[in-house]
């Protein structure tokens, strides 16, 4: 590490940790809102139990969790200065993330066709808002990863960037952990 700091952690990494602490409260507030409104549906509306396709979402959740593994593989490969492997794992992480977001888009359209629009009832509004915010977080992570990947195409990915990738990895893990919470509370609890 080229710079020395009081805590021995780099500013960038500490900054990311601090930001993630703040982001917890963002999702905390959104999840609370969802919990408050999840049962507020009209008498003829479909509720969470009828709406959710648990096997489908389980698969896409699994895909997202696997991406946490691949990002770690990308980091360790970069640490060993194995640029080729690191690039492969980097791209796979981004693709797995994209599959998850794609699954979410598919799910949203399916719900919409079944009659749950954004403004149909409070359950729908809160559900789309919460999962939408998470989807945006995943998308931002994909942008980070792809920026790194494009850098690597220009030969700019070296083991000097290991920490930058590690910080992106922190963010990526956080987004995954949040999804575990959301999946449990939103999808599994009503079952």
Q: Which residues bind another protein (CB under 8 A)?
A: 1-12, 14-15, 18-19, 21-23, 25-26, 28-30, 33, 36-37, 40, 118-119, 121-122, 125-126, 129, 147, 156, 160-161, 163-164
**DSSP assignments along 53-120, one per residue:** -HHHHHHHHHHHHHHHHHHHHHHHHHHTT-HHHHHHHHHHHHHHHHHHHHHHHHHHHHHHHTT--TTS
CB of 24 to another protein, least distance (A): 8
117: left (phi over 0), alpha (psi -120 to 50) or beta: beta
> Closest separation between CB of residue 28 and another protein, Å?
8
CA angle 67, 11, 68 (to 5 degrees): 5
Question: Helices H, strands E: what count in the chain?
Answer: 6, 0
Question: Could you tell me the smallest distance in angstroms from the CB atom of residue 43 to another protein?
Answer: 11
Is the Cβ of residue 26 or residue 54 nearer to another protein in the bound state? Answer: 26
Between 36 and 188, whose beta carbon lies closer to another protein? 36
Judged by beta carbon, residue 96 or residue 148, the one nearer another protein is 148
Q: Are 115 and 45 in contact (CB under 8 A)?
A: yes
Tokens, residue 48: 């969470």
Q: Other CB atoms closer than 10 Å to residue 79's CB: what's the count?
A: 14
In angstroms, give the least distance from the CB of 65 to another protein.
24
Our CB check for another protein shows the closer of 5 and 184 to be: 5
Q: Which is nearer to another protein, 29 or 110 (CB)?
A: 29
In whole angstroms, what is the distance from residue 30 CA to residue 126 CA?
8
132/190 with CB nearer another protein? 132
């Amino acid at each position: 590490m080229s710079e020395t700091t009081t805590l021995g952690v780099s500013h960038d990494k500490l900054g990311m940790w601090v930001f993630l602490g703040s982001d917890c409260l963002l999702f905390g507030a959104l999840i609370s809102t969802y919990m408050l409104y999840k049962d507020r549906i009209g008498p003829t509306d479909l509720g969470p139990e009828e709406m959710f396709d648990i096997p489908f979402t389980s698969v896409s959740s699994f895909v997202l969790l696997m991406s946490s593994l691949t990002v770690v593989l990308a980091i360790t490969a970069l640490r060993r200065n194995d640029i080729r492997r690191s690039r492969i794992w980097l791209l796979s992480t981004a693709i797995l993330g994209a599959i998850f977001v794609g699954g979410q888009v598919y799910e949203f359209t399916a719900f919409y066709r079944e009659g749950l629009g954004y403004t149909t009832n409070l359950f729908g509004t809160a559900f789309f808002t919460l999962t939408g915010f998470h989807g945006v977080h995943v998308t931002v992570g994909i942008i980070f990863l792809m920026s790194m990947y494009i850098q690597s195409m220009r030969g700019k990915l070296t083991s000097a960037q290991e920490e930058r990738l590690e910080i992106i990895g922190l963010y990526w893990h956080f987004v995954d952990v949040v999804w575990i919470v959301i999946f449990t509370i939103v999808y599994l609890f009503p079952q």
